[in-house]
Amino acid sequence: MKDTTLDREGICSVSSTVQVKNARSPPPPPPEPKFSCVSTRTVTPRRAYVGSHAPEPPDPLTCCGSGCADCVWIVYGTELMHYYSDKPIEEALRMIDEQIADVCMREYVKSEVRAKARHRMPF
């Protein structure tokens, strides 16, 4: 839209107004995570591992990688600790070293398993 006006000295000036409608649409919502951690689901607390052989490691894709309190790797480490209860904790930690590829996650899980063993928390 343009407005043309003359001032007192006869000089023509042109002013224009530009209307912008929806110059920028809102950003799309963030994508839903592909995997969820155990803490987002209702889980019955486990007591002790009662299997006759070493527990199976979880599928790596079931871990969200955020270091949550109920991480599937911590549950696995706890089961290993119970399975190797007649041996030193290092046996369970060795199994964790073999199963978890991510160094940061591996050290986090090992520290959580050590803390549970140290405080003898109920599992």
Report field, pTM of the whole predicted structure over 0.85? no
Q: Which residue range(s) make up the domain with 83?
A: 38-119
Q: How many domains are contained in the chain?
A: 1
Mind listing the pLDDT tens digit for each residue in 6-48? 556 666 555 555 555 656 777 777 766 554 454 444 333 444 5
Work out the average pLDDT over 102-107: 90
Paired tokens of 68: 């949550």
Does some domain include residue 23? no
How far are the Cα atoms of 17, 47, 58, 59, 83 from residue 99, in angstroms, in the given order?
66, 22, 9, 10, 16
Residue 63 in domain: yes
What is the band of 123 on the pLDDT scale with cuts at 50, 70, 90? very low
Does 12 reside within a domain? no
In a domain, 86, yes or no: yes
Residue type present at position 14: V
106 vs 9, higher pLDDT? 106
Of 98, 92, 102, nearest to 64 by C-alpha is 102
**Quick check: 101 pLDDT over 80?**
yes
Residue 77 inside a domain? The answer is yes
In a domain, 4, yes or no: no
Say yes or no to pLDDT of 64 above 80.
Answer: yes
Residue 95 covered by a domain: yes
- The answer to whether position 96 is within a domain reads yes
